Amino acid sequence: MRTRRLAPIEPMPQDKESAHAALDPKLLEVLVCPLTKTSLDYDAEAQELISRAARLAYPIRDGIPIMLPEEARKIEED
């Protein structure tokens, strides 16, 4: 029996640039606020998806949008 050698798994880079990787535009086209079903604005610097209708900011963690209202940050009135 032959043994296969596998390449070591490289850890994902954790620098600032990788943490602020752009969200796929196609994903942004289909994602909506789970409460209002309205479109979302992407804040790349804060790594959040903003629902202006619900006044909530959904976090993006490790490139994954967390679309749970209980995880969202409330946006204060201006």
Sequence ranges of the domains in the chain: 21-74
Q: Where are the alpha helices (DSSP H) in the chain?
A: 16-19, 25-30
pLDDT classification of 12: cutoffs 50, 70, 90: very low
pTM: 0.72
Q: Which CATH architecture has domain 21-74?
A: Single Sheet (2.20)
The reported pLDDT for the residue numbered 55 is: 98
* ∠ CA 23-48-73, rounded to 5°: 160
Asked if residue 3 has pLDDT above 70, the reply is: no
Give the DSSP letter of residue 70. Answer: G
Q: What are phi and psi of 28, to 5 degrees?
A: -65, -30
Amino acid at 45: E
Over residues 27-54, the pLDDT tens digits come to: 999 999 999 999 999 999 999 999 999 9
